[in-house]
Amino acid sequence: MTTSVLITCVVSYLLGSIPNGLVFGKLLWHVDLREHGSHNIGATNAWRTLGKGPGFLIFLLDFLKGAVSVYLAEVLTGIPFVMILAGVLAIVGHSCSLFLHFKGGKGVATGLGVITMLMPLPSLIVFLVWLAIVKVSGYVSLGSCIAAALVPVLAWAFSYPLEYTVFGVLAAAFIIVRHKSNIARLLNGTESKIHAGHRGNTRG
């Protein structure tokens, strides 16, 4: 069991570390996302820089990093705590990638993949709230922060075990901290709204 837990943790972090935005941006569109827009390798910058299709692809691939990590933990160990740990490591890997000198994205898509596997119904509510906020306001960062903060609330409301609520609190705090520059721009009115397919100096 110890070996299975170790393998799960290592693979989850390595999966999370795969910089999909960078790899596929260069491979398919010959664009280094780090040189455009917010310089972030995540789905939002891919959407803004490359268009809706590439943005959705990067979102899906980053989502799968979180989902596959939790699934792997379930198959290898079946222990809820290890499943949560695998999800945390996938999010950390995405944001502090081994392949990018411990830099990376903000963890939203990967985090959604994690909570989809851990808490399916709450994750659907979180996604719908995120989508509604982004549609109405145009601010992905605002939707992401509010949706992240909603995770521990829903974990508690749906009577999940305490460790799920604790995970929600930690994941939400991590994602919100990763958005601190966006929050500052939201407060002073300089945050960029989401628009597809524009290369330039937008921030996300």
Number of H helices, E strands in the chain: 10, 0
| Strand ranges for the chain from DSSP E | none
> Using CA atoms, how far apart are residues 111 and 129, in angstroms rounded to an integer?
15
Domain that holds residue 40: 2-188
Region label for 189, one of left (φ > 0), alpha (ψ between -120 and 50) or beta (otherwise): left
Three-state DSSP at 202 gives coil
Asked, for residue 202, whether it belongs to a domain, the answer is: no
Residue 70 lies in a domain: yes
Domain total for the chain? 1
Does 27 reside within a domain? yes
What phi, psi does 203 have (nearest 5°)? -120, 140
pTM: 0.92
What is the pLDDT, as a whole number, of residue 151?
Answer: 98
Q: Which regions in the chain score pLDDT beneath 50? A: 198-204
Is 194 within a domain? no
